Structure 1
Amino acid sequence: MAQKAQKNQAARNSGTLNRTHLISLGTYVFFLLVRTMLFRRKLLPFLLLALPALGIEFWFERIGRPVFVEGTNGKELKRAGEDLDAKGLTEWMWDVVYWTWGCTVLVALAGDWAWWLYLGVPLYSGYLAFTTYSGVRNGFGGLGAPPAEEGASGSGSGAQSKRQAKMEKRGGQRVQYR
């Protein structure tokens, strides 16, 4: 079977995008129905705070929707789309979409004060940026530092593995030249 991985990717992306659009439609229709039928909720915060999630959804639609063309055997896969389960920025964008849905439902049920929960998005983004920066800084920690002082054991690295300790006890690693 040719391009099996791409076909699997295309099927997975289509299912994910269809499910995402249906959940989004249901969430926003629920908010609008509750707003018009039961309670009076503000529409401007809803529009402003739903825009990022809608933008992300349309971006996912653009990069993730598979493209088919007519071929000799019917429809053939031209492009499977990007992986929507990727780590990093894609994962963060999914978190924004999910958080927006949750805040929208909470606002519909609990009141306009629940829009303040949307502040979790920039707080979470700041946390991710800080932990990423800290990890990079720690990863490059030994590059600019002066060499470590030698301890009482005579080794510059501090802790030794058992193998290194045995080799040192025997007189170090010996190299024979011929």
Structure 2
Amino acid sequence: MANASSKRIASANETALKNLELGLLVVNVLSPLSRLILSLITSRSFVPRKLVIFLHIVFVGSSIVTWRWFKTIGTPSRGGSGGVRVGEDLGGKGVVELGWDLIYMTWICTLGSAILGDWVWWLSLLIPAFASYKLFSTIRPLLAMFLPGLFGPKSPQTQAQTQAQAQQQAQGNAGDDKPESKRQAKLKARMERGDKRVQQVQVKQSR
């Protein structure tokens, strides 16, 4: 079973790295080509603004570094004893997942800005926002140790009190809606039919 799992991870990593290399090549070729075509048929400039160039260099460079890191940790290697060591699972969670998010968002912003406009680079703000969320989720148990009132789970005592209050309220509502007795039901039916005996009894009670 362990050998089959290792083979599965190695095969999945090999496929992921090939697709990643192909994606890096396609995106970085289509982006300047799209800008050139649009600059010829529209009034848009082929050279983007300095800020966009800076963002492009930073994010594309980061995606290339991430690809190299994926290749290092995901490619199987041979140990000194001749055994094969399977790399890390590139489909895992944590930092690896953030690396994929960085690469995908870089591709979206690179191609999107070339086709739709430089405003697409605002989407790159989602990367640090998501990274901050993942970091907070990771350190929240530590924060709960020092600030249990803010980051800790709801105490069982509070939950029990809430359930007790809900049960009391339900019992109170049930007590307010008592069913009519058979005698009251008969009197009500006679009143609806206009029975004179019921009317006489009501007159006597009113006196």
TM-score tier by shorter-chain length is: 0.5 to 0.7
Mapping for residues 145-156 of structure 1, pairs under 5 Å: none
Mapping for residues 24-173 of structure 1, pairs under 5 Å: 24-39=24-39, 40-42=46-48, 43-67=53-77, 78-138=84-144, 141=148, 157=157, 159=160
Long gaps (5+) in structure 1: 70-75, 143-147, 149-155, 161-178
**Normalization by structure 2: what TM-score?**
0.58
Query: Which has the higher relative contact order, 1 or 2, with Cα contacts under 8 A spaced 6 or more apart?
Result: 1
Retained in 1: the 8 A contact 2:75–2:86?
A: yes
Which of the two has higher C-alpha Rg?
A: 2
**Partner residue in 1 for 2:171:** none
Retained in 2: the 8 A contact 1:13–1:65?
A: yes
- Runs (4+) of structure 1 exceeding 4 A deviation are none
Retained in 1: the 8 A contact 2:35–2:115?
A: no
Q: State the distance in 2 between where 1:99 and 1:82 align.
A: 23
Q: Aligned letter for 1:29?
A: V
The CA deviation at 1:106 is: 0.8
Distance 1:4 1:128, change over 3 A: closer
Q: Aligned letter for 1:4?
A: A
Name the structure where strand makes up a greater proportion of residues: 1
Q: Aligned letter for 2:6?
A: Q
The CA deviation at 1:38 is: 2.8
Q: State the distance in 2 between where 1:2 and 1:95 align.
A: 29
Long gaps (5+) in structure 2: 40-45, 150-154, 162-207
Q: Aligned letter for 2:140?
A: S
Q: State the distance in 1 between where 2:99 and 2:57 align.
A: 18
Q: State the distance in 2 between where 1:127 and 1:4 align.
A: 35
Q: Aligned letter for 1:17?
A: L
Q: For residue 38 of structure 1, give the secondary structure of its aligned residue in structure 2.
A: helix
Q: State the distance in 2 between where 1:52 and 1:122 align.
A: 13
Q: State the distance in 1 between where 2:117 and 2:157 align.
A: 59
Q: State the distance in 2 between where 1:68 and 1:34 align.
A: 43
Q: Aligned letter for 2:35?
A: R
Q: 1:56-106, CA deviations, whole angstroms, 9 ceiling, x for partnerless residues?
A: 11100111012369xxxxxx9722211111111111111111111111111
- Once the two structures are overlaid, the 10-residue window that deviates more, 125-134 or 22-31, is 125-134
Distance 1:86 1:114, change over 3 A: same
State the aligned residue count: 143
The CA deviation at 1:26 is: 0.9
Q: State the distance in 2 between where 1:24 and 1:102 align.
A: 12
CA RMSD, Structure 1 to Structure 2 (Å): 3.1
Q: State the distance in 2 between where 1:20 and 1:139 align.
A: 41
Name the structure where helix makes up a greater proportion of residues: 2
